[in-house]
Amino acid sequence: MTRTLLQVRDLSKRFREREVVKGITFSIAEGSCAALLGPNGAGKTTTIRMLTGLLQPSGGSIKLLINGSPTTDRRPYIGFLPQMPVFYPWMTGAEFLLYAGELAGLTNREAKRETGEWLEAVGLRDEGKRRIGGYSGGMKQRLGLAQALIHRPKLLILDEPVSALDPTGRKDVLTLLQRIRRETTVLFSTHVLHDAEEICDEILMIRSGAIALQGSLEHVRRTHSEPVIRLEVGEDEASRSWLTAACSKNFVIHSEVSGRRAKLRVENVEQASLALMADAASRRIMIRSLEAGRSTLEDLFLKVVQS
């Protein structure tokens, strides 16, 4: 049985009239990796700022349990990487890490040692001596990760760690996260669902300030994913009209058509795909592709967000 590390109850935040976070309750187990999912403006950043102590909640409680008992000051146990981290451009990467480490309570010697280690770990060993003003977005993100981890926090909180990066930068950060999550509990917010599926094991979906769905990734997949067939046909008129007709077959529960592609929710994938193929063959319709599978997290996300 894993221990709970973070316990959040009825957390809410209002800015004047507007209630941005409306009483959310969740907990994160030690050693897990949780993703906070939600569309832009759902209240992800506000929630994260409250967890890190940057913002005072309007209501509810946040408890960080260290060795089973809640702490009064969470900050020593939390590492935080804000969305688009900003540094002092006149400092070098190594200087900033040293400063961050010492502020977090490390002695000068410890901070120096950790600085060297983390520069190496995030692949900035050679750039460490250069001024941060000349760093690229990806380098800043990696440096931000290093400063969040320099005091070996129990909980690492990341706000959109990969959203602003190009594919290579994204891959670098994700690889790093894969490694970090073996040692630290991680909570990160994102709207890129693919990343969440890749590294996390818990998901929390929020929509306009309230939790829409939560649970382990496995559980969510099992209970919410549905058998789906994705179909693509040729350009010609006959194919298209066949596709429209296919959508109204009795085994189709729900369908979405866009151009020559269609997504069909069915009860039984095997039977449905066989029936579709037989039907297409008998009418001499070319099927370009047919994929029988289950709905992804992205489908679920869209469903949750739009409902």
Partner 1 sequence: MRQFLLFFRKEMLEMGRSFKWLWVPLVFLMLGIMQPVVTRFMPVILESSGNMPKGMTITIDPPSGMEVMAQTLGQFNSVGLMILVLSIMTLISGERQSGVSQMIFAKPVSYLSYAAAKWAIMLSLVTASFVLGYAGAWYYTVQMIGSVETAAALKAALLYMLWLWFTGSLTLFMSSLMNSAAGIAFVSLGAAILLSMASTWLPRYAYSPGFLPEISVQWLQASEKPTGDLGAAILCLMCMIFFFMIAAYQVKIRKSNV
Binding site for partner 1 (CB under 8 A): 46, 49, 52-56, 73, 75-76, 78-82, 84-88, 90-91, 95, 99-100, 102-105, 144, 147-148, 151
Nearer to partner 1, 4 or 71 (CB): 71
Q: Element (H or E) spanning 146, and its range?
A: helix 137-149
Both tokens assigned to 189: 């917010």
DSSP H helix total and E strand total for the chain: 10, 14
State the nearest-atom distance from the C-beta of 2 to partner 1, in Å.
25
CA atoms of 76 and 188, how far apart (whole Å): 18
How near is the Cβ of 3 to partner 1 at its closest, in Å? 23
CB of residue 61 to partner 1, shortest distance in Å? 19
- Cβ closest to partner 1, residue 89 vs residue 259: 89
Q: CB-wise, 98 or 243, nearer to partner 1?
A: 98
Q: Which residues contact 203 (CB under 8 A, 6 or more apart)?
A: 34, 35, 37, 196, 213, 214, 215, 216, 217, 220, 297
What one-letter code names the amino acid at 34?
Answer: A
Residue 261 beta carbon to partner 1: minimum distance, rounded to whole angstroms: 42
Nearer to partner 1, 75 or 249 (CB): 75
How many Cβ atoms are within 10 Å of 94's Cβ, its own excluded? Answer: 21
Handedness of CA 101, 104, 108, 113 (dihedral sign): negative
Q: How far is the CB of 102 from partner 1 (least distance, A)?
A: 5
Which is nearer to partner 1, 4 or 83 (by Cβ)? 83
